[in-house]
């Protein structure tokens, strides 16, 4: 299986950006953790960090044309206004899981992209990513 992880706006600053809210795990450490778990699950994992919604949309369409099996995504800064990302995800057949480090509902946030996902995993810190990866593998197995 092959998955694509899209990390939305500001996620490259993970570990430095509001560590009281998002924790101290850096993007690099998270990537290493996810790649280890992906290897254990026999999954190829591509990771894209982008601050540009259009780049995320293009990467998803390209991955789908390439036969990607699943998509994981944290809309991050696209959370409130990521309508193009939501439309993209609704227009593909590839299953996608939305991920959040924090419980966004508890923080009074609402995701415009959540309705395009098969599920949302949130509130477990960076472990949310591992849970999402495991869930997508289980869904596709």
Catalytic residues: 22, 100
DSSP string for the chain: -EEEEEEEETGGGTTTS-HHHH-S--HHHHHHHHHHHHHHTT-EEEEEE-S-HHHHHHHHHHHHHTT--EEEEEEETTTTT-HHHHHHHHT--S-EEEEESS-TTTTT---SSGGGSSEEEESSTTHHHHHHHHHHHHHH-
CB atoms within 10 A of CB 53: 19
């Amino acid at each position: 299986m092959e998955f694509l992880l899209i990390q939305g706006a500001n996620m490259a600053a993970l570990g430095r950006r509001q560590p009281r809210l998002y924790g101290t795990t850096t993007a690099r450490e998270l990537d290493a953790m996810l790649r280890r778990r992906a290897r254990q699950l026999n999954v190829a994992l591509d990771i894209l960090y982008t601050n540009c919604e259009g780049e995320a949309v293009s990467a998803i369409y390209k991955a789908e044309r390439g036969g990607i099996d699943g998509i994981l995504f944290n809309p991050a800064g696209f959370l409130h206004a990521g309508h193009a990302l939501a439309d993209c995800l609704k227009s593909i057949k590839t299953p996608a899981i939305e991920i959040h480090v924090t419980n966004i509902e508890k923080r009074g946030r609402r995701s415009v992209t959540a309705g395009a996902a098969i599920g949302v995993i949130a509130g477990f810190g960076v472990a949310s990513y591992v849970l999402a990866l495991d869930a997508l593998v289980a869904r596709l197995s």
